[in-house]
Chains A and B, each alone.
Chain A
């Protein structure tokens, strides 16, 4: 016991400095995580009309192509529209369900598992199944079809994030509000919603990102009249060898990176 302090000091020092082997491994893995994706950025400034990498000549051509092509812009607009509507629907359904599940004592677990199922089951099985039924209902190739399918896929994310924010919530506050005479709706609006607001917001963002990125179900539901951005990207590789996908990919990579890093940087500024 006498040398305990020295052990813990040594441990503390060791905690801060990784061994060289481990350090090298971390750098390598970080490279593998990030570098392959970044290939799309130099690609997008290429001048050639193939997927050659690295490009021999440079140009803004594929950005100009992206922002002037009716097809690419329509795909982008469809993706944004489907994403916002699907996320909104998933958020409304998910918040209501999370509130109900939070108060259920029996059977809640089973229902929750069922609502989470869209996230766990293999995408291709889900896609083919939904496609089969939507063909009969004539929902394939419609905005409504995309929104419904993507809302189902986004629901688990809303459920999870709202449940997390409800974990720190004490139902007694609702009773306190009620005992002070607050009508039920006012309680919901002024007590419950502010507490779960961060969870609701992150659920919405997750659901939007899920929809915006979703390609398997979208590939089956698409028709020539309505495609989402990932579908257009898929086709530009498989059918057309159209380097505009490099510009589209770069825009998405830069956009999501900013979305991801800005909050982290802001938080750090606040702390210091």
Chain B
């Protein structure tokens, strides 16, 4: 530090290369910590998935050849898809309304979105546990309208309902930020050219909001694929999702190799989804991965 400090103030002449050399060491501590405590562990579990108990792809074949595991994979994909679609349908009109109202109302609506976003995940999962349990509010409410005996706790349906609520903010926020940048006079232009309002909305507004849709969809889908705590609390081992199986393999069996294989498959699916979505999003002038930064 002192060597740097006593350097004469000849900075204006220093080229960009010089500047870079002088500050890039600031990157080292963060890079080192992330490498050692994040990427190294990931590399180890990947390595173990190929080497334990013996060298090869045995763990992967065991997953892909096991009907139960495959069913878990498909169930996870289907659940994540349902959650994503439901959050999109619920969030889209809300985000749209946020762009129409005045500044004050918008800040209220934003706070309402941020509240669950900030509230403890465990508190929210506990609340859903209470609502979905046998004799809980949801069972009673459904019984009151004539649907008897529906206990959501301990089912994939229960996990889905709770996760839709947990994921809503991650859908609303990117949607709203991309909708705010849409020039609404385009809608009036479409109207003055003879388009009816629903047509103008579908053909002009919805395509313009696609960057937000893709960002929200990719964040929610990816997070749903790997979500652990809600399935672990509200789901059941009989209808397990991938994250639950990974957790059980490590917790109960200390089978890091098997968990590593499942985790690697999950990672690959995640990365493929990210790649496809950002490929789709690229011509729209935004990247889906950029949306993931939000949450």
Interface flags for A36-69 (1: CB within 8 Å of B; 0: not) read 1111100100000001110000000000000000
Tell whether, in the assembled complex, residue B111 and residue A260 are in contact, meaning their CB atoms are under 8 Å apart: yes
A179 within 8 A of B: yes
Interface positions of B from 9 to 59, Cβ below 8 Å from A: 9, 11-12, 16, 19-20, 23-27, 29-31, 33-34, 37-42, 44-45, 48
Q: Is the CB of B27 within 8 A of A96?
A: yes
Residue A133 lies at the interface, judged by CB distance under 8 Å to chain B? yes
Query: A111 contacts the other chain (Cβ, under 8 Å)?
Result: yes
Which A residues lie within 8 Å of B229 (CB)? 215-216, 234
A residues 192-218 near B (Cβ < 8 Å) are 209, 212-213, 215-216
Task: Give the chain B neighbours of A76 by CB distance below 8 A.
Answer: none
**Shortest Cβ gap from B227 to chain A (Å):** 7
Closest Cβ neighbor of B44 among chain A residues: A133
A119 to B19, CA, bound (A): 30
Contact digits for B191-203, partner A, Cβ 8 Å, 1 yes 0 no = 0100000000000
Is B30 a contact partner of A123 (Cβ separation < 8 A)? Answer: no
Contact of A11 among B127, B184, B251, B295 (CB under 8 A): B184
Q: Looking at chain B's contact residues, is the secondary structure mostly helix, strand, loop, or mixed?
A: helix
Chain B residue contacts of A14, Cβ below 8 A = 100
Chain A residues, CB < 8 A from B226: 121-125
Residues of A within 8 A of B111 (CB): 260-261, 264
B123 at interface, CB cutoff 8 A: yes
Within 8 A of B (CB), among A128-149: 128-134, 148-149
- Complex CA gap A184/B1 in Å reads 9
Question: In this assembly, does A245 line the interface, its C-beta being within 8 Å of a C-beta of chain B?
Answer: yes
Distance in angstroms from A266 CB to nearest chain B CB is 13
- Kindly state the separation between the CA atoms of A26 and B289 in the bound complex, as whole angstroms: 28
B91 in the interface, Cβ–Cβ < 8 Å?
yes
**Interface size class, chain B:** 35 or more
Q: How far is the CB of A252 from chain B (nearest CB, A)?
A: 4
Whether the Cβ atoms of B26 and A96 lie closer than 8 Å is yes
What 0/1 readout, one digit per residue, does chain A (230-272) give for beta carbons within 8 Å of chain B? Answer: 1001100110000001101110110011011100100000000
Query: Within 8 Å of chain B (Cβ to Cβ): is A25?
Result: yes
Q: Is the CB of A129 within 8 A of B263?
A: yes
For window 91-121 of chain B, which residues contact chain A by CB distance below 8 Å?
91, 93-94, 96-97, 100-102, 107, 109, 111-116, 118-121
Q: How far is the CA of A7 from the CA of B129 in the complex (A)?
A: 51
Q: Is the C-beta of A166 less than 8 angstroms from some C-beta in chain B?
A: no
Q: Does B163 contact A (CB under 8 A)?
A: no
Chain B 62-98 against A: per-residue CB contact (8 Å), 1 yes, 0 no? 0000000000000000000000000000110110110
A124 is contacted by which of B12, B102, B243, B256 (Cβ under 8 Å)? B243
Q: How far is the CA of A126 from the CA of B223 in the complex (A)?
A: 13
Interface string of B135-158 (1 = CB under 8 A from A): 111000000000000000000000
- Taking the complex as formed, is B277 at the interface, i.e. its CB lies under 8 A from any CB of chain A? no
Contacting pair B34 A152 (CB below 8 A): yes
A185 to B145, CA, bound (A): 69
Q: Decide yes or no whether A34 CB sits under 8 A from chain B.
A: yes
A99, A125, A260 interface centre (most CB from chain B within 10 Å)? A125
| A239–B31 CA distance with the chains assembled, in angstroms | 39
Between A and B, 9 residue pairs with Cβ closer than 8 Å are A25-B94, A33-B112, A37-B115, A39-B127, A126-B42, A133-B44, A156-B293, A246-B126, A249-B123
- The 10 A-B pairs at the shortest CB distance, nearest first, are namely A122-B226, A249-B123, A97-B30, A100-B26, A129-B41, A93-B30, A125-B263, A100-B27, A96-B26, A133-B41
Apart from A116-B293, A178-B9: 11 A-B pairs, beta carbons within 8 A: A7-B192, A37-B119, A39-B131, A105-B16, A115-B31, A123-B227, A126-B38, A126-B42, A155-B34, A230-B121, A233-B120
A interface residues, Cβ below 8 angstroms from B: 7-8, 11, 14-16, 18, 22-23, 25-26, 29-30, 32-34, 36-40, 43, 51-53, 89, 92-94, 96-97, 99-101, 103-105, 111, 113-134, 148-149, 151-152, 155-156, 160, 174-175, 178-185, 209, 212-213, 215-216, 220, 229-230, 233-234, 237-238, 245-246, 248-250, 252-253, 256-257, 259-261, 264
